Amino acid sequence: MIAMVARYALGVVLVLAVLGKARDFTAFRSSLVTFGIRGRMAEVGAFTVVTVEALAALAAFSPVADVVVGVMGTCLGASFTAAQTYLLVVGEEAPCLCFGTRERASIRTWARAALVLLAGLALWGAAA
């Protein structure tokens, strides 16, 4: 039961994240400058993030094994949590476009990223 809840919660969160970034893709791409990613690399990076999130969301709603979805969620959650931690530590005022809204990096945005990580870990652990 925990695996099913974690799987579908992860899928819904990732769908919302993809839709938010896709709605204002240019702003999302521009936000990567905070991490020193500019120009062509920002285009590739933004496209890669959205594509990986979309693939993970599709996997969550498909018959793919829980462990695969768990690994994908864990990797995405670890990346997002690391990015939010970086922004909080350096005191960066860059907007977070995590769900398509401009929002300053905060403990709230960090907690959302950590929840993606925890959902991935729960799936991965349940499959073991």
**In a domain? residue 128:** no
**In a domain? residue 62:** yes
Counting the structural domains of the chain, the total is: 1
Which regions of the chain are under pLDDT 70?
A: 93-95, 100, 128
How many alpha carbons fall within 13 Å on the CB side of residue 128? 8
pLDDT tens for residues 73-110? 999 999 999 989 998 898 876 667 777 677 788 888 89
Q: For residues 96 and 90, what is the distance between their CA atoms, to the nearest angstrom?
A: 14
Which residues are within 8 A (CB) of 42 and not within 5 positions of it... i.e. 6 or more apart? 29, 30, 32, 33
**In a domain? residue 40:** yes
**In a domain? residue 50:** yes
* CB burial of residue 49 (10 Å; 0-12, 13-18, 19+): buried
**In a domain? residue 8:** yes
Q: Which residue range(s) make up the domain with 116?
A: 2-123
Write down the pLDDT at residue 98: 72
